[in-house]
Amino acid sequence: MSDHDTDDTLEDLPLEALPLDPWHRARGARMVPFAGYEMPIQYEGIVAEHTWTRESAGLFDVSHMGQLVLSGEGLDAAVEAVLPIDLSTLKPGAQRYSLLLDEDGGVLDDLMVSRLADGSLYLVVNGATKWDDIGTLREALPDDITLNHLDEHALLALQGPKAVDALARHVPDAAALTFMKFGQFTLAGHPVQIARAGYTGEDGFEISLPAEAAAEIADLLCAEPEVKPIGLGARDSLRLEAGLPLYGHDLSPETSPIEAGLIFGINKRRRTEGGFPGADRINREIAEGTGRKWVGLRIEGRLPAREGAEVFVGSDKVGIVTSGGFSPTLGAPIAMAYVAAAHAATGTALEVEVRGKRLAATVSPTPFVPHRYHRGN
Amino acid sequence: MPRYYTDEHEWIDVEDDIATVGITDYAQGQLGDIVFVELPEVGAMIEQGKDAAVVESVKAASDVYAPITGEVTETNSALEDDPSLVNSAPEDGGWFFKMTIADAGELDKLMDEDGYKAFVESL
């Protein structure tokens, strides 16, 4: 046997261990290289872990992601020159999705930006891109801005409809957060920062905590009857069902956020004002549309179409799959693909080629499985 | 009925001049939840060490190589409706295909059950 797919290995670098490495191994995780680290791909099995997260709550170790804090005089103006975000409307305790773009409007990374109580900004960036991101930000930001890499912090995501029940037993006040809000709390005596957000489409939380407390807090949360540890495999199938892009697959310097349907990542004031990398292209694409669009595909039968599979209308190649797999919730293959705008309307019949076979596919609305975020009343 | 194993985690049962091929319990555990099995066509000639089938798990597609050379005589149609048989009964109801044995000498180089067990423990 041999896998067709390769993981996101930074092949030249030795793999590093994350704070919870022994914790995962003690729980029977299968570890694989990902983003330069050894990470748990699964514990009991991807489908069981996927379903458990949809029905109860899963604990994900996402400590490979980069946690950065930006602070200093003139912070907002400096950051707005780099990110297409409107910081005038980002209040303390709020989190927002943003994009790191190159001068041509290609995506260097997607990230979360949160406003801390003291006015500084807390960023969560992708693991595989964090070193490049730090370089890009350091180069683009003036010397007055301090960039602090929280490399002694771990990041845990607690996701699922019962995540709030499990967490509230330890941090009652966290239950009052709504989607994309965060705050500082104490968990088992440790200072933590908790955001009500995630990457599964479910309600849930992301908990930033000191690395030395990670094993204790992971044990505490997994001792709750609702919670099991969940690996990267289910994280990927959950985010695919939720229609969320994965950097390096669905997003890259070769894709623009407008093609990807991420216009909400370009905040409204910035669309007219510009003044961020790639603004010319982004604003042109907003006005004129894009030649291709990132769409969901439902695929007939059981054979999954994966990243790299080509999309056809008759003999014409009209697109390419960027993420695809088997949806445990739907019991059918699903995929995300960039397709020519003329063939991107919901309901359009397409074909996807897998190992020389044409599979019938239909452009489908996303998310494939409805989001269940806690937006409050 | 002798059973042979390959270092690619396939098993081969030989009865008269027909071999039944599947993947081992260890292999299915490594692959995880199997959602699709692409089997060779009946009548296809397959060559030892070359692609014979593809197993799709939730995570990835994996090649299954022909353990010996021969002609495919039958495939397990039960896998079309229920590919998870490969997870639940990998060395029994989850067999992949049956084939002729072009060169019985190829079998001699494969492992027996004890040899395979030791091989898996060494991984």
Q: How confident is the model at residue A8 (pLDDT cuts 50, 70, 90)?
A: very low
The per-residue pLDDT for A2 is 47
CA distance linking residue B18 with residue B72, whole number of Å: 10
| pLDDT score at A11 | 53
Residue A6 has pLDDT above 60, yes or no: no
B33 to A47: CB separation less than 8 angstroms, yes or no: yes
pLDDT by residue (tens digit) across A118-175?
Answer: 999 999 999 999 999 999 999 999 999 999 999 999 999 999 999 999 999 999 999 9
Rounded Cα distance between A46 and A42, Å, is 6
Percent of chain A past pLDDT 90, that is, above it, reads: 95
Contact assignment for A1 to B9 by CB distance below 8 Å: yes
Expressed in angstroms, the distance from the first to the final Cα of chain A is 51
Contacts of A42 in chain B (CB under 8 A): 32
| Sign of CA pseudo-dihedral A234, A237, A240, A245 | positive
Report yes or no for ipTM above 0.90: no
B35 in reach of chain A (CB within 8 A): yes
Residue A305's alpha-carbon distances to A179, A309, A353, B103, in angstroms, are 32, 6, 8, 36
With the CA atoms of B36, B40, B42 and B46 taken in that order, what torsion angle do they form, in degrees rounded to the nearest 10? -160
The answer to whether A2 faces chain B, any CB pair under 8 Å, is: yes
Mutate to test the interface with B, among A51, A326, A353 (most CBs of B within 10 A): A326
Q: Which residues of B touch A333 (CB under 8 A)?
A: 35
pLDDT at A7: 45
3-class SS letters over A314-372? CCEEEEEEEEEEEECCCCEEEEEEEEEHHHCCCCCEEEEEECCEEEEEEEECCCCCCCC
pLDDT tens string A190-224? 999 999 999 999 999 999 999 999 999 999 999 99
- The answer to whether A91 contacts chain B (CB < 8 Å) is no
Chain B contact for A46, CB < 8 A?
yes
**Residue A106, pLDDT above cutoff 90:** yes
Segment A277-329, tens digit of pLDDT? 999 999 999 999 999 999 999 999 999 999 999 999 999 999 999 999 999 99
b/e map A302-339, b = 16+ CB within 10 Å: bbbbbbebebbbeeeebbebbbbbbbbbeebbbbbbbb
Chain A CB within 8 Å of residue B40 CB: no
This prediction has a pTM of: 0.93
